[in-house]
A and B are shown apart, each in its own frame.
Chain A
């Protein structure tokens, strides 16, 4: 287990370093310098370069850059809001995005699980068909189509929920974005739960447990559910990534002031610093989530741990 853990952590750190290197190279390639004021003389520029360490060798600059990024010092924004520290820009937006993302995962996981279980237990009945249809639609229709449909029906026509996000009504206005964002998660988890559950229900150890005379409740909760749930953790990690991309679109539709919409504005207005900072944050979050999921998976299921150690 220790060896596996160490290997995973090292890979993650290495990946993060690669990303930082790519970002650093991009920064070097970008046109212009941080000091674009035409009034500066060559001497003044040189002094400024010395002050910020830009006259040092590239290697040292890189490590300084890495240290700054890890400390959360991303520099200042050039275009979106001039000379505001980016960490400040992001600090107000990140919690909103995380809140909506968390709601979406919660809704998606719970409903998806229930739907998948329903389909598995009522296998080959009308319930199964309904659950299958819902999950196929959920997987194939993009989240912004759901977002548009929901905001048209429940926001514009019925006026149950606000069309646009407002911080005063945090909960009401995050209902529609969360639901539209959760559709893909829900559908994938439903599909996965169903097939896992069917496999477990048809396994030999379930037959053994049943023939031992265990009651239905113990049978389902102690034996079936536990084994079926383990692999579901693995699908959650890639789903969280889809939430990131999905959030860009959903944030645009509902005018949510989150990091997704910040990223889009930053790309459109060529605000390199912001784009790079956000790329770093997205990558770090992604790598962190993948790491946690892998470790959790190793802890929960000894078979995976042993298999990975063996290879």
Chain B
């Protein structure tokens, strides 16, 4: 629980952060809310030699709605999402998912960009962005690029982010159709054993903790598109998954949960 020595650099802007990342390469880690990185460092499971703190990069915060798109700065905290009046109207699913992340202390420090960039398949928000068909804005030394959420996650705690890139913004479409999030866990503060996000009445369905990345439940989406009932559509919820085994659940039980929770989520979303 005692982290190894680490150097600290504060970057007050995206440009400064990119410059620091270019200088230190893969020895450096970006620090935003610190709710995932700092515990890993305390356990010495992560031992970066430089922390680039973007916590004060004010150009990375804020929620705005323009036309059909909600743009959210990467440093926006879960608590801000949870309580945002704009988001409650434009994308209530995302506000709700943010409200069930960890506990209040985590939600006050943790950020949307940090959660997505950490790419934890057990996290709630990456799956929500995936179900919503979101887009991620990434800045690097060569400029800015946009990545579809479906292309972003590449492996366990891995994404397409380069070592010198910063996730600056998360964009999701305005989404007011039927939605639900079924988060199954044993304590309120825990990661989901399995989670199922349903957006737009089942047009977008994603799974938490069912593979090495957050994933779309494409078989369910196809069944819904084909007019299947909630129960029938949910039968394919575990298709193509590779669920992990841990203290809480083995793969077979996770697959069972995915089907049960998907049926419940689709029903709650008005399917």
- Is this pair of chains taken from one and the same complex? no
Name B residues whose Cβ lies closer than 8 Å to a Cβ of A.
Answer: none
